[in-house]
């Protein structure tokens, strides 16, 4: 009986932890889908990105994988956002986020140029972190950045 308790209790604890992680992940994913749907954009957890993303390099580490992306029209302009992984191997991997808008931009007021760099590619303007600081953007922050970029498009009121 004691042997059953020694094996059973740790197994039960592991099951509860794994179930909690899965439940929280599913809940977060569901919230993101609902948030995106309410704004008329698409949210996908995995898959091929609908547009080409710029090559991002930080020192010896480069962009290896994209995940969790949003795309669709916002204020009459096509927008895109994704999380991306840089680096390979243990301890050198970080997840970051980038946003993009399908337009040529003029000066973007309110943009912290110490943190972000504007990168044009195939008619899109990407807002890419200047250096890795860890963490990914929340969808609400992505929408704020899209608004910031949309405000920099000349004649935006004629598009809406």
pLDDT digits (tens, 9 = 90+) for 55-107: 777 666 677 677 778 888 877 788 888 877 776 666 666 777 788 888 877 66
For 56, the token pair is 């991002």
**Is 12 in the same domain as 72?**
no
**Is 23 in the same domain as 101?**
no
**Is 88 in the same domain as 68?**
yes
Q: What is the pTM of this model?
A: 0.66
Interhelix angle 139-151/2-38, rounded to 10 degrees, is 20
**Is 67 in the same domain as 136?**
yes
Please enumerate in sequence order all residues whose Cβ is within 8 A of that of 58, keeping only pairs 6 or more positions apart, or say none: 86, 87, 131, 132
**Is 115 in the same domain as 61?**
yes
CA torsion, ordered 86, 112, 141, 51, to nearest 10 deg: -50
**Is 59 in the same domain as 104?**
yes
Q: How many domains does the chain have?
A: 2
Domain that holds residue 17: 1-38
Place of tokens 């953007």: 137
């Amino acid at each position: 009986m004691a042997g059953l308790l020694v094996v059973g209790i740790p197994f039960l604890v592991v099951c509860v932890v794994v179930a909690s992680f899965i439940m929280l992940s599913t809940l977060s994913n569901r919230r993101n889908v609902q948030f995106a749907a309410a704004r008329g954009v698409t949210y996908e957890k995995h898959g091929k990105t609908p547009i080409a993303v710029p090559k991002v390099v930080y020192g010896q580490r480069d962009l290896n994988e994209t995940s969790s992306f949003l795309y669709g029209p916002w204020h009459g302009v096509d927008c895109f956002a994704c999380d991306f992984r840089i680096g390979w191997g243990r301890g050198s991997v970080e997840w970051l986020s980038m946003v993009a808008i399908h337009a040529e931009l003029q000066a973007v007021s309110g943009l912290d140029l110490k943190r972000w760099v504007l990168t044009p590619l195939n008619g899109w303007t990407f807002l890419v972190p200047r250096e890795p600081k860890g963490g990914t953007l929340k969808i609400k922050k992505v929408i704020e950045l899209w608004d910031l970029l949309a405000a920099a498009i000349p004649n935006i009121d004629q598009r809406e």
